[in-house]
Amino acid sequence: MIACGCEVCTSRNEKDKRLRSSILVQSEKTTLVIDTTPDFRTQMLRENVKKLDAVIFTHPHKDHIAGLDDIKAYNFFQHKPMEVYANQLTQEALRREFYYIFSEDKYPGIPNINLHTISDKPFIVGDIPVTPILVYHLKMPVLGFRFGKFTYITDANRIEDIEKEKIKGSEVLVVNALRKKDHISHFNLKQAADLVEELKIPKAYFTHISHQLGLHEDTNQELPSNIQLAWDGLKIDLKGS
List of residues contacting Zn ion (CB under 5 A) = 1, 4, 6, 9, 61, 63, 155, 211
Q: How far is the CB of 178 from Zn ion (least distance, A)?
A: 9
Q: Which is nearer to Zn ion, 60 or 111 (CB)?
A: 60
CA angle 83, 86, 89 (to 5 degrees): 150
Neighbours of 83 (CB within 10 A): 17
CB of 67 to Zn ion, least distance (A): 13
Nearer to Zn ion, 148 or 216 (CB): 216
Q: Are 20 and 28 in contact (CB under 8 A)?
A: no
Q: What is the helix (H) or strand (E) element at residue 191, kind and residue range?
A: helix 189-198
Q: How far is the CB of 9 from Zn ion (least distance, A)?
A: 3
d(Cα 236, Cα 230) in Å, to the nearest integer? 10
- Burial class for 143, CB neighbours closer than 10 Å (0-12, 13-18, 19+): buried
> In this complex, which beta carbon is closest to Zn ion, that of residue 25 or of residue 34?
34
Q: Which is nearer to Zn ion, 74 or 145 (CB)?
A: 145
Report, in Å, the least distance between residue 215 CB and Zn ion. 11
Using CA atoms in the order 16, 231, 208, 114, what is the torsion angle rounded to 10 degrees? 130
Query: Residue 6 or residue 238: which is nearer to Zn ion going by CB?
Result: 6
Degrees to nearest 5, angle at CA 63 with 13 and 164: 90
Please, what is the minimum distance in Å from the beta carbon of residue 8 to Zn ion? 5
